[in-house]
């Protein structure tokens, strides 16, 4: 399998719950390297643009409101099959459906506040990484 990069976000609920380190440990234990990271408070425009594919969904305004409600930690993860690997360790979108031991099962409380984001395909990873990072801010190792 090829080395890939994927875009990950630790969402405002998990930052507020003070579990950044615990979630980073999950990435590292899964063989994913944090090769770029920044903490930021997303504007409505930045959050809405990030989730543009969901613009017509009934939960869109709630999603943008939540994603702008406090700081997030955005990172690029790199590793073998990183995109699928990250989705695996995140667990299902709804924490009620997430497999035991996944990040969402352990750190999220509801579908609308589900602790982490992870790119779902190579195309979305490329778009999402460049949405937050320039190539000079990414440190492969
Ligand atoms: P994922 O984050 O697992 O890729 P998604 O792309 O379908 O899930 O949705 C993006 C985010 O939107 C998701 O992390 C939380 C929110 N969301 C999805 N479905 C929802 C719902 N039924 N009610 C409230 N928020 C929802
Ligand atoms: Mg998604």
Atom of ligand 1 nearest to the CA of 112: 25
Query: Could you tell me the pTM of the whole model?
Result: 0.98
Distance CA 86, CA 103 (A): 10
Is the ipTM above a cut-off of 0.90? yes
> Does residue 72 contact residue 9 with C-beta atoms inside 8 Å?
yes
Residue 82, pLDDT above cutoff 90: yes
Virtual torsion, Cα 78, 80, 86, 91, nearest 10 deg: -170
Average pLDDT rounded to a whole number, residues 80-108: 98
Spatial neighbors of 26 by CB under 8 A, at least 6 apart, are 89, 103
Q: Do residues 27 and 86 lie in contact, with contact meaning Cβ atoms separated by under 8 Å?
A: yes
Q: Is 117 a catalytic residue?
A: yes
Tell me the angle at which helices 20-29 and 82-90 cross, rounded to the nearest 10 degrees: 130
Report residue 49 CA to chain centroid gap: 15
- Distance from Cα 12 to the centre of ligand 2, integer Å: 16
**Has 55 been labeled as part of a binding site?**
no
pLDDT tens digits along 1-12: 899 999 999 999
Task: Answer whether residue 28 shows pLDDT above 90.
Answer: yes
- At 141 the pLDDT is 83
């Amino acid at each position: 399998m090829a080395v890939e990069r994927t875009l990950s976000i630790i969402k405002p609920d998990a930052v507020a719950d003070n579990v950044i380190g615990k979630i980073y440990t999950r990435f590292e234990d899964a063989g994913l390297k944090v090769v770029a990271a920044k903490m930021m408070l997303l504007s409505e425009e930045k959050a809405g643009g990030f989730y543009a594919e969901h613009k017509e969904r009934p939960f869109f305004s709630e999603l943008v409101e939540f994603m702008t409600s406090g700081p997030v930690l955005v990172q690029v993860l790199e590793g073998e099959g990183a995109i699928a690997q990250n989705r695996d360790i995140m667990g299902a979108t709804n924490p009620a459906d997430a497999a035991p031991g996944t990040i969402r099962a352990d750190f999220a409380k509801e579908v609308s506040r589900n602790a982490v984001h992870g790119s779902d395909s190579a195309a979305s990873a490329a778009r999402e990484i460049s949405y937050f990072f320039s190539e000079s801010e990414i440190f492969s190792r």
